Structure 1
Amino acid sequence: MRFTCTSLKYGSIFLLFLLISQAFNTAFAQTDRKITGNLVDKDNIPIIGASVSVKGTNKATVTTDNGAFSITAKTGDKLVFTFMGYEPKELTIGAGSNYKVTISEANTSLTDVVVVGYGKGSRKGLSSAITSVKPEELNKGAIADVGQLLQGKVPGLNISSSGDPNKPAAVILRGASTINSPGAPFYVIDGIPGADIAAIAPADIASIDVLKDAAATAIYGNRAASGVIIVTTKRGKSGKPQLS
């Protein structure tokens, strides 16, 4: 009988401590505390100016020098990290008060990108009359000038050769618009307006974009009255060097 009473006594004490511990944990979990840390990318470079917020609340801050952040939250809350060009990251607050968070760059891809006078755009949202000719679509063979590369590849682009091997083909993109028409298109080579197309070899051309209408050529003013041909040449790429 004495053993039974002792067991009940110690059992009651243990149950009392358990209830007190649960109450303490519950109170601790519901209390906001200061959460600090650093936000970095995969190369361990600090992300400065990123947004840090507590999900479902109005609490927010931004990362400072070294990607440091400080915000009040409680155990179980989720911190949301967002920054332009990076994937959003969520972190669930545990027992710790200091965290090092790593975010990854957003993997975005553009399909059917075309070059326009003011930059690059997706063909999906393009409203101007622009034709993009890829390298594999250009004419092959003994090519002497760019005109021969495009012959028969762009609707509305008239290319005619005089028969003189030392004279480039005549390129007419838009019809008669002035007293001196037809004039040659305005060439832009690797972003340089008005460059001489004869200065580059046809084998060095990576892609050609032909701007036809006024909306696409407006940035070049009256120089683009006869259309614009944007030429992009081949260039080195990052990676292991290859020789052939």
Structure 2
Amino acid sequence: MKFAVVGGTGLIGSRVVRKLAEAGHEAVPHSLSTGVDVLSGQGLDAALAGADVVVNLTNSPTFDDDSPAFFRTSMENLIAAAERAGVGHFVILSIVGVDQVPELDYYRAKTLQENLLEQGAVPYSIVRATQFMEFMDAVLSWTADATTVRLPRTPIQPIAAADVAAAVADVAAGPPLGGILDVAGPDVYPLDELGRLTLTFRGDGRSVTTDDTAGMFAAVPGSVLTAGRGARIAATRYTDWLENA
């Protein structure tokens, strides 16, 4: 099969392209660097020509109230181009629990992205992943100073980017789900404990203070960012990933 992987040069996209190619498929990465602009629509028709499947892994450049406009425009352009090209399967990557955190602009934007795909005419699959292990450093930086990192006790179920890409590639190569698959790492941690584990492993002398008002994840209610029944649980544990990162 031929796959058009839009956003195919990024953290997940490059891995998805590699996984699909290893399975014997033709997987073509597309991005701004290859002349494809999902906001203007430039290059989309050429990118999707002859594709059996489109995998959209593009992301908003911001996490603020500008992000809904990005996802609305990009999805409307991509869906229209997929319909013109006769694409039979449209896959996106989203976030576990995304529709349960309306307080966050970015999560509302990703929910909008899902809704647009569901309302379109192209058969689809949505892969929702828990928080990437690779993003832990960014999370720590949001509420850190020279000596302390403040983190809430929000339950997190981290997953390695390689495992996310494997799940996306598997779903893309199969029949459209017409729904959602959750994927997650094997272990759940309170975010403050995950921060302590990370700093200790790296020999970082900063301490973690539990603060349930600190950072973006303070807005998350309960355990909505952890996987429920029916989720695909990946093998990579956070401690093992730390040792090999």
TM-score by length of 2: 0.21
> Over alpha carbons, which structure has the higher Rg?
1
Q: Going by fraction, where is strand more abundant, 1 or 2?
A: 1
| Higher RCO structure (Cα 8 Å, ≥6 apart) | 2
TM-score by length of 1: 0.21
